[in-house]
């Protein structure tokens, strides 16, 4: 039937028009089924997470963001010199990222040694980090335009993030007397203690640690994060 004749025949999947078992759950293969006979969510296409006529991060050259930056306050806020600021980002599908992005309404340069940014998973384990953002390789570009512009710092190595919640943390040090740190776009932050928990779970979308070291720690204790009053926007690219 398959055009093969021999004393002993071993048929391959291709001989009989079938797919190899190695194609199950593989890229460009076929979906597998779980114990309930359903396709696992990890093998389904990325779900639509915003209405079709709304803006998403991909429309702006990003892979994820904390929220639509057009909804943020137009007056930027200084992150403060020394504390670690944190903003949560939700990844809906496995994606490679190589850059952490902010929007600065103004920045004239001046980050000093000990400035860094990093990405942590929901357990607090570091999965990617920049180098020292006072150096030419990692310092964000200056911003002197009306309305500001996106600024970013590259990771020292690209990281592939699986679906889940990630915490983007950064520590910027600068001369506060001269005010030469970046003014960063933030959501409504006028209340002394705006809500950073929403809904019925304990996911904190914004927060901070009062102080941090000169390099990104290997891990952070998510439960020890403080409820910061400034809710900064971040994106990933």
**In angstroms, rounded to a whole number, what is the distance separating the alpha carbons of residues 236 and 225?**
21
DSSP per-residue string spanning 180-211: -SPEEEES---SSS---B-TTS--BSEEEES-
**In angstroms, rounded to a whole number, what is the distance separating the alpha carbons of residues 107 and 195?**
28
Q: Evaluate if residue 2 carries a pLDDT over 70.
A: no
- The average pLDDT across 73-81 equals 92
Q: Which of 2-16, 72-86, 193-207 ranks highest by mean pLDDT?
A: 72-86
- The average pLDDT across 128-155 equals 96
For 97, the enclosing helix (H) or strand (E) is strand 95-106
SS3 state at 70: helix
What pLDDT is recorded for position 183?
95
Of 140, 146, 116, give the one whose Cα is nearest residue 216: 116
Q: Which of 56-65, 70-79, 129-138 ranks highest by mean pLDDT?
A: 129-138
Picking from 4-8, 72-76, 81-85, which range would have the lowest pLDDT averaged per residue?
4-8
Q: Evaluate if residue 107 carries a pLDDT over 90.
A: yes
- The average pLDDT across 3-10 equals 63
Determine contact, residues 89/161, Cβ cutoff 8 Å. Answer: no
* pLDDT band at residue 101 using 50, 70 and 90 as cut-offs: very high
CA distances from 2 to 7, 9, 14, 18, 179 (A): 15, 11, 10, 12, 78
Determine contact, residues 57/91, Cβ cutoff 8 Å. Answer: no
**In angstroms, rounded to a whole number, what is the distance separating the alpha carbons of residues 98 and 161?**
10
What pLDDT is recorded for position 36?
74
Q: Evaluate if residue 179 carries a pLDDT over 90.
A: no
* pLDDT band at residue 50 using 50, 70 and 90 as cut-offs: low
* pLDDT band at residue 43 using 50, 70 and 90 as cut-offs: low
């Amino acid at each position: 039937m398959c055009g093969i004749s021999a004393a002993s025949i071993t048929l391959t999947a291709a001989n009989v028009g079938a797919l190899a078992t190695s194609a199950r759950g593989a890229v460009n293969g076929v979906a597998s089924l779980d114990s309930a006979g359903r396709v696992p969510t990890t093998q389904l296409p990325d779900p639509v997470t915003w209405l079709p006529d709304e803006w998403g991060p991909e429309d702006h050259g990003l892979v994820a963001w904390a929220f639509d930056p057009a909804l943020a306050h137009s007056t930027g806020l200084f992150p403060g010199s020394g504390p670690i600021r944190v903003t949560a980002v939700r990844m809906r599908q496995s994606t490679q990222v190589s850059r952490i992005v902010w929007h600065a309404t103004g920045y004239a340069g001046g980050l000093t040694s000990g400035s860094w940014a990093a990405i942590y998973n929901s357990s607090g384990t570091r999965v990617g980090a920049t180098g020292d953002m006072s150096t030419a390789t990692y310092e964000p570009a200056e911003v002197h335009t009306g309305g500001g512009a996106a600024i970013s710092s590259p990771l020292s190595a690209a990281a592939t993030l699986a679906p889940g919640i990630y915490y983007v943390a950064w520590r910027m040090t600068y001369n506060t007397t001269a005010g030469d740190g970046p003014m960063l776009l933030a959501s409504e932050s006028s209340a002394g203690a705006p809500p950073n928990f929403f809904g019925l779970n304990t996911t904190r979308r914004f927060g901070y640690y009062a102080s941090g070291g000169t390099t990104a720690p290997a891990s952070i204790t998510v439960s020890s994060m403080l409820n910061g009053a400034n809710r900064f926007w971040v994106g990933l690219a």
